[in-house]
Amino acid sequence: MESPRFSAQVHAFITALIAYATFLAAYVIRFYVLHGVMNYGFFTYNLMALLSAALHYAVFSLGFYHRSDLRRHFGRYVTGTIFCESVCLAGLLSALYVLRMPEFSRMCVLISSALSLVFHCIKHSVFLRTSAAYYKKGLHQRTVLLIGEGLTAKRYASVVAGKPEYGHRILGYLASCRQPFSGSYLGDYTAIDDVLTTSSPDEAIIALPAEQYIHINAIIASCERNGVPLRIIPCYEEHVGGQIMTEKFEDIQMIGIRDIPLNRMYNAVLKRTMDIIISLSALILLSPLMLFIALGVKLSTKDTVFFTQTRIGKDKKPFKMLKFRSMRRNDGEQSAWSTQTDDRRTFFGALIRKASLDELPQIINVLRGEMSIVGPRPEIPHFVEQFKDEIPLYMIRHSVKPGITGLAQSRGLRGDTSITERIRKDIEYIENWTIWMDIRIILRTIPAIINDERLPIKKKKK
Q: How far apart are CA 83 and CA 46, in angstroms?
A: 25
Residue-wise over 310-320: b if at least 16 C-beta within 10 A, else e?
ebbbbeeeebe
142-239 — its CATH code?
A: 3.40.50.1110
pLDDT of residue 337: 54
pLDDT of residue 2: 46
Q: Which residues make up the CATH 3.40.50.1110 domain(s) of the chain?
A: 142-239
Closest CA to 330 of 344, 342, 343: 344
Q: Return the amino acid letter for 443.
A: L
Q: Name 461's Cβ contacts closer than 8 Å, sequence gap at least 6.
A: none
366 DSSP assignment: H
**CB 160, CB 211: distance < 8 Å:** no
Q: What element of type H or E holds 264? A: none
Q: Angle of helix 42-60 relative to helix 106-136, nearest 10 degrees? A: 40
In 122-275 the beta strands, taken as DSSP E runs, fall at 142-148, 168-174, 203-207, 230-232, 245-249, 252-256
Q: Return the amino acid letter for 148.
A: G
3-class DSSP state for residue 62?
Answer: helix
Virtual torsion, Cα 399, 442, 451, 447, nearest 10 deg:
-160
Q: How far apart are CA 360 and CA 307, in angstroms?
A: 12
Query: 249: which strand partners?
Result: 252
Closest CA to 92 of 67, 123, 114, 113: 113
Q: How far apart are CA 388 and CA 99, in angstroms?
A: 58
* DSSP line for 150-175: HHHHHHHHHHHHH-GGG-EEEEEEE-
In 201-261 the beta strands, taken as DSSP E runs, fall at 203-207, 230-232, 245-249, 252-256
Longest pairwise C-alpha distance within the chain: 92
* DSSP line for 79-116: HHHHHHHHHHHHHHHHHHHHTT-TTS-HHHHHHHHHHH
- C-alpha 105, offset from chain centre: 35
Cα angle: 243, vertex 244, 247; to 5 degrees: 145
In order along its 462 residues, the chain shows pLDDT tens digits of 444 444 677 888 899 999 999 999 999 999 999 988 878 889 999 999 999 999 999 888 876 665 555 556 777 778 788 888 999 999 999 999 898 888 899 999 999 999 999 999 998 888 888 878 887 887 778 899 999 998 889 999 998 888 888 888 899 999 999 998 878 899 999 999 999 988 889 899 999 999 999 999 999 999 999 889 899 988 877 667 666 777 777 778 787 777 788 988 888 999 999 999 999 999 999 999 999 999 999 998 888 899 999 999 999 999 999 999 988 776 555 555 555 556 677 888 888 888 889 999 999 999 999 999 999 999 999 889 888 888 878 898 999 999 999 998 888 777 667 788 899 899 989 988 988 889 989 988 888 777 766 666 655 554
Q: Return the amino acid letter for 131.
A: S
**Reported pTM:** 0.64
Q: What element of type H or E holds 322? A: strand 318-324
